[in-house]
């Protein structure tokens, strides 16, 4: 299989983490794609131009990190990241959605900072900064949830990839994270699958 990624993409990072956690390195080739450039050859592989993108051995391509992670998790017939049954399954979905909400907001924020000088909107960036602050207050409470403290799951992977992505946003100070969330992140970020997939930090010019 081929997994197309961008080194900085938090969505692609989730899929890369699942590859490592599942020990699928021999079955899944990781290929950096050229995204967000005109006429990229990648658009002939994935017309949407987005990553992650998984091309299965039968040639069928899949978009969306959640679908790709589920597909990778099931490859060996022994899924590690299936939702728990009953009420815990709804809690797991709720927490994963909350983590994705943070990731989506940070992705919009970074995209805004990457526009050519004069084209970025301070209003959009302020809006996303405020969303991040509100979600941090919420996550400082939710981080004690048993599902966020137990064995690795998709909610944890999503939240950690969102927090890890912050290093890409110019001027964003990760020291402003609330303490329990910061401690949780430091622990999960030390896992080999997270260390191996960490995004390069933003460099100011
Ligand atoms: N909902 C998608 C989001 C994927 C996404 O937005 N990827 C970004 C990278 S972080 C991308 O490929 N951007 C390229 C573009 O917009 O052309 C997922 O979960 O996989």
The 3-state secondary structure of 122-189 reads HHHHHHHHHHHHHHHHHHHHHCCCHHHHCCCCHHHHHHHHHHHHHHHCCCCCHHHCCHHHHHHHHHHH
Same domain? 167 vs 106: yes
**Alpha carbon of 4 to those of 32, 42, 144: distances in Å?**
6, 9, 34
Same domain? 28 vs 70: yes
Residue 200 lies in a domain: no
Nearest CA to ligand 1 atom 14: 50
Same domain? 97 vs 172: yes
- The C-alpha atoms of residue 156 and residue 114 are separated, in whole angstroms, by 27
Of 74, 109, 135, the residue at which a domain comes to its end is 74
Residue 81 lies in a domain: no
Q: Pull the structure tokens for residue 34.
A: 């050229």
Same domain? 93 vs 152: yes
Q: What is the dihedral of CA 154, 159, 161, 165, to 10 degrees?
A: 160
Same domain? 92 vs 184: yes
Nearest CA to ligand 1 atom 6: 50
Ligand 1 mean position to 86 CA, how many Å? 31
Ligand 1 mean position to 39 CA, how many Å? 17
Helix 10-21 / helix 65-74 crossing angle, nearest 10 deg: 10
- Total structural domains in the chain? 2
Of 74, 109, 126, the residue at which a domain comes to its end is 74
**Alpha carbon of 102 to those of 59, 105, 119, 154: distances in Å?**
33, 5, 24, 14
- The C-alpha atoms of residue 27 and residue 100 are separated, in whole angstroms, by 27
Same domain? 93 vs 14: no
**Alpha carbon of 67 to those of 63, 94, 182: distances in Å?**
7, 17, 28
3-class SS at 5? Answer: strand
Where residue 142 sits, what CATH number does that domain have? 1.20.1050.10
- Residue 205 pLDDT: 44
Q: What is the dihedral of CA 55, 59, 61, 62, to 10 degrees?
A: -70
Residue 8 lies in a domain: yes
Residues near ligand 1 (Cβ within 6 A): 6, 9, 11, 35-36, 49-52, 64-65, 107
pTM of the model: 0.96
**Alpha carbon of 168 to those of 29, 92, 121: distances in Å?**
25, 27, 18
Same domain? 101 vs 168: yes
- Residue 129 pLDDT: 93
Full domain range(s) for residue 69: 2-74
Same domain? 106 vs 67: no
Give the ligand 1 atom nearest the CA of 48: 17
Ligand 1 mean position to 70 CA, how many Å? 17
In tens digits, the chain (205 residues) has pLDDT values of 999 999 999 999 999 999 999 999 999 999 999 999 999 999 999 999 999 999 999 999 999 999 999 999 999 999 999 999 999 999 999 999 999 999 999 999 999 999 988 898 999 999 999 999 999 999 999 999 999 999 999 999 999 999 999 988 888 877 789 999 999 999 999 999 999 999 987 755 4
- Residue 203 pLDDT: 59
Of 51, 74, 97, the residue at which a domain comes to its end is 74
């Amino acid at each position: 299989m081929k997994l197309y990624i961008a080194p900085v993409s938090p969505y692609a990072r989730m899929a890369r983490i699942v590859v490592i956690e599942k020990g699928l390195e021999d079955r899944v080739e990781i290929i950096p794609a050229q995204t967000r450039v005109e006429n990229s050859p990648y658009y002939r592989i994935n017309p949407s131009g987005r990553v992650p993108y998984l091309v299965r051995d039968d040639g069928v391509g899949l978009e969306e990190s959640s679908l790709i992670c589920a597909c990778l998790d099931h490859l060996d017939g022994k899924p590690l990241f299936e939702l728990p049954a009953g009420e815990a399954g709804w809690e797991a979905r709720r927490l994963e959605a909350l983590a994705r909400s943070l990731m989506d907001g940070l992705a919009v924020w970074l995209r805004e900072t990457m526009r050519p000088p004069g084209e970025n909107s301070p209003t959009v960036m302020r809006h996303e900064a405020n969303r991040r602050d509100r979600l941090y207050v919420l996550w400082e409470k939710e981080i004690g949830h048993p599902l966020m403290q137990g064995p690795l799951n998709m909610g944890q992977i999503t939240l950690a990839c969102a927090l890890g992505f912050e290093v890409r946003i110019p001027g964003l100070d990760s020291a402003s994270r609330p303490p329990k969330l910061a401690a949780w992140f430091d622990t999960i970020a030390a896992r080999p699958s997270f260390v191996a997939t960490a995004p390069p930090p933003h460099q100011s010019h």
